[in-house]
Amino acid sequence: MNQFKKNVLNELQHVKLSAEKKQQIAQKARSRNRQKQNSQRQYRIVLATFTLLAIGFSVLVTLKTEHPTRTMQGATLQQETNRWSLWMLLEHDWIKGLVLLSLFVTIALWIKRILLKKGYGLPVCMACGEVWTAKLVRKYYWKNGQMSCPHCQKVHYRTKKSVQLNAFTNLPIPFMVFINYFFSNLLMGISFYIVSVAIYLYILIPVVIKLQEDDPSNEPLW
């Protein structure tokens, strides 16, 4: 080692990574790797939704244009078809349902993106550093109690903040009451809403859970 290097190393003694920082980097590396795999799936969901929507639109457009030529019910009807606009598509319950579905998926992906940027993501075990699978998180989501790591059996609890966040993710469920204002066929509206909320929760659940070691049951929630 030359003298220059020795001197510089000596002067830079205070420049070093703390043990916490090292652990944090390792955890981040693991969770980012996981996110990278997930991004492929997100892309597929968006593509599938878009394709469904495009097919739905095109089917309805062809139905609408074929209808008057088949029946030919006078000039008034012909005029109506001339004044045809995209908004008239929203008269159909199927289209409304598909719009609702795509709206929910978009909102869910948008919220997920914000949460990922804020450092949320699939939970990482505090003891062994293993990342939990999304399937496991979805299973634990419905339990408010303790969750044990499948790799090292260490018991974890949800943080107060993630419980609060959970309350906000469930926010769209009560809005089901307003469905009858939008859908003429109520049953179809409700079924579309349920499917939309299910997809919404399916996307969001894995990222809203954060873990801590202490039991927060004795602390106040708000």
Partner 1 sequence: MEIEQIIAEHGDYLLKVAYLYVKNEATAEDIVQDVFIAFYQKQQQFRQESSLRTYLVKMTVNRSHDYLRSWKSKRLSLFEKIVGRTTTITPEKELLAKSTKQELVAALFTLSVPYREVLILYYFEEMTTVDIAKLVHCPEATIRTRLQRARKQLASIIGDDDWEVLRYESI
Are 99 and 2 within 8 A, CB to CB? no
Please tell me whether residue 155 binds partner 1 under the rule CB under 8 A.
Answer: no
Assess 144 for contact with partner 1 (CB under 8 A): no
How many other C-beta atoms lie within 10 A of the C-beta of residue 23? 12
Give the span between the Cα atoms of 147 and 137, in whole angstroms: 9
Stretch of 19-27, 52-60, 61-69, 145-153 lying at the interface with partner 1 (CB under 8 A): 19-27
Identify the residue among 23, 106, 144, 217 touching partner 1 (CB under 8 A): 23
Residue 26 near partner 1 by CB under 8 A: yes
Residue 131 or 204 having the CB closest to partner 1: 131
Instruction: Using alpha carbons, select from 82, 83, 102 the residue that is nearest to residue 196.
Output: 102
**CB of 174 vs partner 1, minimal distance in Å:** 40
Task: Say how far apart CA 222 and CA 220 lie, in whole Å.
Answer: 6
- Identify whether the C-beta of residue 146 lies closer than 8 Å to the C-beta of residue 155: yes
Q: Is position 72 an interface residue for partner 1 (rule: CB under 8 A)?
A: no
Please give the Cα distance from 139 to 205 (Å, whole number): 10
Asked if 114 interacts with partner 1 (CB under 8 A), we say no
Residues in touch with partner 1 (CB under 8 A): 1-5, 7-17, 21-26, 28-30, 32-33, 36, 129
